[in-house]
Amino acid sequence: MNEARLRTILLVAAAYHLLLGAFMFFAPGAFYDTLGKFPPENHHYIKDVATFYVALGVVFYVSVRRRSWRTPVLAFAALEYALHAINHLIDVNEATSALTGWFDFFALSAIALLLGALASFAWRIHPDEPEPPQPVVEDRAE
């Protein structure tokens, strides 16, 4: 893993969350039917959640350029996906099928782990910290 790959992953995460949020906001019925079939269907609530995903997409995009944002954004996203996974585990039998419920739980857990690993990587490389100043060697002709 290097800086360029991390930036690419952040850009993909930004696009994914922006598209997901737009899909939820502009087509809440289609979202419910294809991805979010946990009764009861509530278009207003789906659009409320869409605003969160759009905002997350925006901060992922900003973190592509602003290195100091990377670790906090990735850690926050990892926490959100972990809590989201726990919520799906609690409601695993409320999904349209047991397979769907368990798939959602494991998929969200995997995303949480990936985001946590990326947050750890971003923190370890500290790309937001400038290089330590090098001693200045003056060339004095005396």
Digit-coded pLDDT (tens) for 37-56 = 888 899 999 999 999 999 99
Per-residue confidence band for 11, with pLDDT thresholds at 50, 70 and 90: very high
Is 128 a residue whose pLDDT tops 80?
A: no
Dump strand ranges (E) for the chain: none
pLDDT of residue 142: 54
Q: What sign does the dihedral 10-16-22-28 (CA atoms) show? A: negative
Residues 58 and 56: their CA atoms lie apart, in Å, by 5
